[in-house]
Amino acid sequence: MYLKNLSLINFKNYEQLEIEFSQKINCFVGDNGVGKTNLLDAVYYLSFCKSRFNLIDSQNIKHDENFFVIQGNYYIRNENESVYCGIKRNKKKQFKRNKKEYKKLSDHIGLIPLVLISPYDSNLIIAGSDERRKFLNGVISQFDKQYLEDLIKYNRALSQRNSLLKNFAKTNTFNIETIEIWDEQLIKLGTSIYEKRVNFVNELMPVFQKYYEIISNGNEEVKLNFSSQLHDFDFPELLKNAIERDRILQYTTVGIHKDDLIFKLDDFLIKKNGSQGQQKTFLVALKLAQFDYMKNIYGFKPILLLDDVFDKFDLFRVKQIIKLVAENNFRQIFITDTNKDRVKNILNDSSIEYNLFNVSNDTIELSNNIKL
């Protein structure tokens, strides 16, 4: 699968842009603030119906304009597919596949699998557990619609149960039977979500370790553990044991909404002890493992977007990443960097086919097209 071309009108800093891509590696080089990440975000939009960076659609319209259009032509499973996203101020988002509008945006998610590695991903390591659950949820729900539905229902039941606990406290009453109605929902949905998370992390772990070892030359040992209260107790037991505490605190203190991923480097938390380069290695390895996982599920390789990925890495790690890329593990890749010479030297060394584009304030020009 690959993106053949893209056209933009009034998307962020781009007034009008038409661009043809290489089926393999596309590098975008240019100074800070010229629109490299914005271009990747447009590609991201066509996969996820939203921006990675700004969830308010209208804020992605070029300043002082009234609409934006992103259109891309893909080649997927031996078919041509065209995807269109149009946003007008104060109007509903228009999202079309082959000129036909989707009834639900969620029907589109999963058609064009994509993995983005961006500097914003550092939140996965340094921010609270919510970010890491979002990562788990985002990846699993891309290919498992039931998981997404269960998650939505779980969150609804959780918020109902929490309101009930608050209400009991306010009115100084308590009725275990009404609580148990919500417990039943939480148990059914939560247990299934938990099992899927366990399976996913178990499959991800060895691939993640493999990638970390390759990028870091095996000098560091990393661990990725899934932590959940459900490891040690059944969900019904957890809820029963916690009810007094829940009543006092007026919210549900146990469940899969407390799950987390624990990232360790040589037995220490990477969040606290890892250098910036090590944290970034961790993220890249994690995302590449996600890529492998998705590739196996879909039966073809997702699009890979690497935004500023070489920044903070020593030359060895940069070379290892490019080596991975060159070894044909990946299909179509989009890379951004501020340092043209760095990208050129590395890619020329590895003799892979790539397109190099110069980006400068809303225009993108093909600088060279090197083919084997």
Site of interaction with ligand ATP (CB under 6 A) = 12-13, 30, 32-38, 60-63, 308, 338
Of the listed pieces 28-36, 47-55, 186-194, 225-233, which binds Mg ion according to CB under 5 A? Answer: 28-36
Q: 89 or 145, CB closer to ligand ATP?
A: 89
**What is the smallest separation between the CB atom of 12 and ligand ATP, expressed in angstroms?**
4
CB of 30 to ligand ATP, least distance (A): 6
37 binds Mg ion (CB under 5 A): yes
Distance CA 58, CA 38 (A): 15
Burial class (CB in 10 A: 0-12, 13-18, 19+), 324: middle
For residue 338, the minimal CB distance to Mg ion (Å) is 8
Pick between residue 339 and residue 369 the one whose CB is nearest to Mg ion.
339
The SS3 assignment for 312 reads coil
Q: Which is nearer to ligand ATP, 35 or 72 (CB)?
A: 35
> Which residue is it, tokens 């240019």?
30
Give the burial string for 118-131 (b: 16+ CB within 10 Å, else e).
beebbebbeeeeeb
From residue 285, how far is each of 79, 223, 321, 326 by CA, in Å? 31, 12, 10, 16
Closest distance to ligand ATP from the beta carbon of 50 (Å): 15
Which residue of this chain has its Cβ atom nearest to Mg ion in the complex?
A: 37
Residue 301 · residue 215 · CB < 8 Å: no
By CB under 5 A, tell whether 51 contacts Mg ion: no
Pick what 137 binds: Mg ion, ligand ATP, none; C-beta below 5 to 8 Å, kind-dependent.
Answer: none
- Nearest distance, CB of residue 51 and ligand ATP, angstroms: 10
Partner whose binding site includes residue 113, from Mg ion, ligand ATP, none (CB under 5 to 8 Å by kind): none
Closest CB to Mg ion among 39 and 187?
A: 39
Please say which residue, 179 or 309, places its beta carbon nearer to ligand ATP.
309
Cα–Cα distances in Å, from 49 out to 76, 111, 282, 285, 289? 18, 11, 27, 26, 24
Judged by CB, which is closer to ligand ATP: 361, or 369?
361
Q: How many residues bind Mg ion (CB under 5 A)?
A: 2
Buried b (16+ CB within 10 A) or exposed e, 140-178: bbbebeebbebbeebeebbeebbebbeebeeeeeeeeee
284 and 309 in contact (C-beta within 8 Å)? yes
Are 84 and 100 spatial neighbours (Cβ–Cβ below 8 Å)?
Answer: no
Task: Report in angstroms how near the CB of residue 7 gets to ligand ATP at its nearest.
Answer: 17
Q: Which positions touch Mg ion (CB under 5 A)?
A: 36-37
